[in-house]
Amino acid sequence: MTGPDVLVRYWAAAKAAAGLPDERYAAPTDLGDLLDAIRARHGSGSRLADVLQRCSYLVDEVSPGRRAASEVAVLPGATVDVLPPFAGGSGDWDGTGTRSTGAGLAPA
The pLDDT value recorded for residue 86 is 73
Sign for the CA dihedral angle at 71, 1, 79, 4 comes to negative
The pLDDT value recorded for residue 84 is 92
What is the dotted CATH code of the domain comprising 5-87?
A: 3.10.20.30
Contacts of 8 (CB under 8 A, 6+ apart): 22, 23, 24, 25, 34, 38, 79, 80, 82
The pLDDT value recorded for residue 35 is 97
For the chain, residues with pLDDT lower than 70 are 1-3, 87-108
Strand 56-59 with 79-83, pairing: antiparallel
* pTM, full prediction: 0.77
The pLDDT value recorded for residue 90 is 53
Delimit the domains of the chain by residue range.
5-87
